[in-house]
Amino acid sequence: MQFPAAQIALLVNGKIEGDPTTAVASFGKIEEAQKGQLTFFANPKYEDFLYSTAASVIIINEGYELKQPVTATLIRVPDAYTAFATLLSKYQEIVQQQLTGIQEPSYIAKTASYGNNVFIGAFAYLGENVKLGNNTKIFPNAYIGDNVVIGDNSTIHPGVKIYHDCKVGSHVIIHAGTVIGSDGFGFAPQADGTLKKVPQIGNVVIEDNVEIGANAAIDRATMGSTLIKSGAKLDNLIQIAHNVEVGNCTVIAAQAGVSGSTKIGNSVLIGGQAGLAGHLHIADGSKINAQAGLGKSLKTPGTSVTGSPAYDYSQAIRSQATARNLPEMEKRIKELEELVKQLMAENVNK
């Protein structure tokens, strides 16, 4: 299937420079793209490839001034990276729309129901009272437990496990191997030193437009719901404990862990391998650096922290700069000590 530059420009509200009939059939990185492919240019580090690439169509920022001629047809947009992401999403939608029907063998409980144009892959399991929305895709070996509800246009990739009573919104993507609704980590110490399991009778609620990476684990609440709010993006290998709340459009990078009952605000950025203690409140717009260990709440919106234990980012940078200068400072102190000794000796001789 080929798409002319004119049609692509309409999809991204771009302006064409060059031949509007130039057609492309696939995508390519700017340094590797071949004739008949579409690419984009947004990072100045790849400027040399802009003039050497064999791509037929290039998405480019509208304000970028060319330093030499290009052979490709250009589509000027306000933000080339965002426009390219939009095109990839459209392409993915077209591909996935071709996936419909129910493959065998699969198990679908008699009380389960599903909307139009769904896809249920081989060896998938749909429990009692499961409800799937329109255009939802359940890939092979997925497990959808009793009473689970999944909204329209959501994609559940191979091997995902969604335990009973959990709720998944529309336009949600959950990648392979992720577990939604496993028991929260709750054990009550007993007088004899043993640990009594606290039953986890809540669920997980994932709102619309959320994406969760591969092999993540989101625990069900002890009571109530573990909540992932609309627009949140969670990377691979993330642990979200029981009764945690992740705010709208918050981003959490790989291998981060959030302990129980912590409430994370909107548009928070959490770096890879960061660890958050339990029962914290993280204000909107906070930034928690990679490998930070956070043991106290961030109450001021827009706060940035780093280190373990985590503390103010700007103070940390100044401390690091000072630490780098310690050898030179030590040398100067020794010189000053010698000078003081000489002055004291001269003073005594007088």
The catalytic residue positions are: 242
First to last CA, the chain: 98
In the sheet with 26-27, reading across from the earlier edge strand, the strands are 15-17, 73-77, 57-61, 37-41, 26-27
Phi and psi at 319, nearest 5°, equal -65, -40
Calculate the alpha carbon distances from 159 to 125, 178, 216, 319 in Å.
10, 7, 12, 46
Q: How far apart are CA 103 and CA 123, in angstroms?
A: 8
- Written as six digits, the tokens of 223 are 């009571």
Q: Residue 307: which of 317, 293, 296 has the closest Cα?
A: 293
Tally of CA atoms within 13 A in the half-sphere of 21 that contains its CB: 0
Contact 42, 64 (CB under 8 A): no
Contact 141, 121 (CB under 8 A): yes
> Most distant CA pair in the chain: distance in Å?
106
Q: What is the sign, positive or negative, of the torsion defined by CA atoms of 326, 328, 329, 335?
A: positive
